[in-house]
Amino acid sequence: MSAVNDTISAVFLLTGIPGQEDVHLWISVLFCLVYVISIVGNSVILFIIKTDPSLNEPMYIFLSMLAITDLGLSIATIPTILGVFWFNSRKISLSACFAQLFFIHSLSFIESSVLLLMAFDRFVAIYDPLRYASILTRQRIAKMGLVCVLRGVSVEFPVPFLLKRFRYCRANVLSHSYCLHQDVMKMACSDITINSIYGLFIIVSTVGLDSLLILLSYVMIFKTVLSIASHTQRIRALNTCVSHLCAVLLFYTPMIGLSVIHRFGKGSSPLLQILLGYIYLLVPPLINPIVYSVKSKHLRVRIIRAFVK
């Protein structure tokens, strides 16, 4: 009975940037600016792609999926991050914490899948451009998108229930201003072996597998590009992959680094964990719409027209 009471009454304490409490308000202004640019940027991309029939191509449909996922990640983290930095509101209930980490991880796995689909899109466009539209039809894209969502949600669905069965009787001070599975499970007084193994299985079977398949896709892309006789066409083909490569590096580098540090970096700097955490959640939604708008001439022209009118 006491175990149940401990779990029900427990709350977690979120953490801002330790040692920088005096400038939290100024940092919150920066974070608020990042969120505004991220939400506006991704919303504009979605609006332009939705309203412009000439952008209803597979590449832009996948880009809209990426924008939706980035919007979801931004919205899932706004309340707690700005709450901590604006109002020093550090307390979060178990239910709210479990809900937040479910959405953060599910959306992250969905974004990983979308990046894999975008790699496949680039491979088809370069390898067989004449059949590009016939291979990536809207029906197939819709099915692939549905599979991405179902996979992301299904693998993360058991996690809140696995966490809910624990007793939380420690200080419960989390490492970030939002909830992550690998951070929360360390607060448990119970054996976390199952959660640790399942969490590692999820990472390997989603992010690990996706990143491996993306690497394989680019090996095949480079092999195809090298077979093109014209140097100009080679450069043009590779140039279509630059935006996607930036998105891949921005997403996977901090995410994998953060996961490794939480599981194996016991002696690592807390500040490094915090910075990687913010880069992982804030930078991709901020940079992706900017990179794609700059690199895609068609998208850039449509955005300029929309604001010039």
In the prediction, which pLDDT does 148 show? Answer: 95
Average the pLDDT over each of 45-59, 149-163, 194-208, 269-283 and give the range with the smallest value. Answer: 269-283
In the prediction, which pLDDT does 277 show? Answer: 87
Q: Does residue 170 carry a pLDDT above 70?
A: no
Query: What is the dihedral sign for C-alpha 120, 125, 129, 134?
Result: positive
pLDDT band of 154, cuts 50, 70, 90? very high
Q: For residues 226 and 215, what is the distance between their CA atoms, to the nearest angstrom?
A: 17
Q: What pTM was estimated for this model as a whole?
A: 0.92
92 DSSP β-pair partners: 12
Token pair, residue 90, equals 């550090």
Percent of the chain exceeding pLDDT 70 equals 94
Instruction: Give the max Cα distance, the chain.
Output: 74
pLDDT band of 260, cuts 50, 70, 90? confident
In the prediction, which pLDDT does 1 show? Answer: 40
Q: Which residues of 78-111 are buried (b: 16+ CB within 10 A; e: fewer)?
A: bebbbbbbeeeebebebeebbebbbbbbbbbbbb
User: Which residues touch 49 (CB under 8 Å, ≥6 apart)?
Assistant: 55, 56, 60, 61, 63, 64, 299
Q: Does residue 189 carry a pLDDT above 90?
A: no
pLDDT band of 39, cuts 50, 70, 90? very high
pLDDT band of 282, cuts 50, 70, 90? very high
**Contact assessment for residue 172 and residue 10, using Cβ atoms and an 8 Å cutoff:** yes
136-149: average pLDDT: 95
Mean pLDDT estimate for the chain? 88
More confident residue, 158 or 17: 158
In the prediction, which pLDDT does 3 show? Answer: 45
User: Which residues touch 232 (CB under 8 Å, ≥6 apart)?
Assistant: none
pLDDT band of 5, cuts 50, 70, 90? very low
In the prediction, which pLDDT does 309 show? Answer: 60
Range of the domain at 292: 2-308
pLDDT band of 167, cuts 50, 70, 90? confident
270-275: average pLDDT: 82
pLDDT, one tens digit per residue, over 210-255 is 999 999 999 999 999 988 878 888 888 888 899 999 999 999 998 8
SS3 content of the chain, % helix, strand, coil (to 5): 80, 0, 15
Query: What is the dihedral sign for C-alpha 217, 219, 224, 225?
Result: positive
pLDDT band of 47, cuts 50, 70, 90? very high
Count of domains observed in the chain:
1
Q: Does residue 2 carry a pLDDT above 60?
A: no
Q: Which residues of 218-243 are buried (b: 16+ CB within 10 A; e: fewer)?
A: beebeeebeeeeeeeebeebbebbeb
In the prediction, which pLDDT does 265 show? Answer: 63
CATH number, residue 122: 1.20.1070.10
More confident residue, 60 or 18: 60
Q: For residues 278 and 304, what is the distance between their CA atoms, to the nearest angstrom?
A: 30
Q: Does residue 196 carry a pLDDT above 70?
A: yes
Between the two ends of the chain, the Cα-to-Cα distance in Å is 66
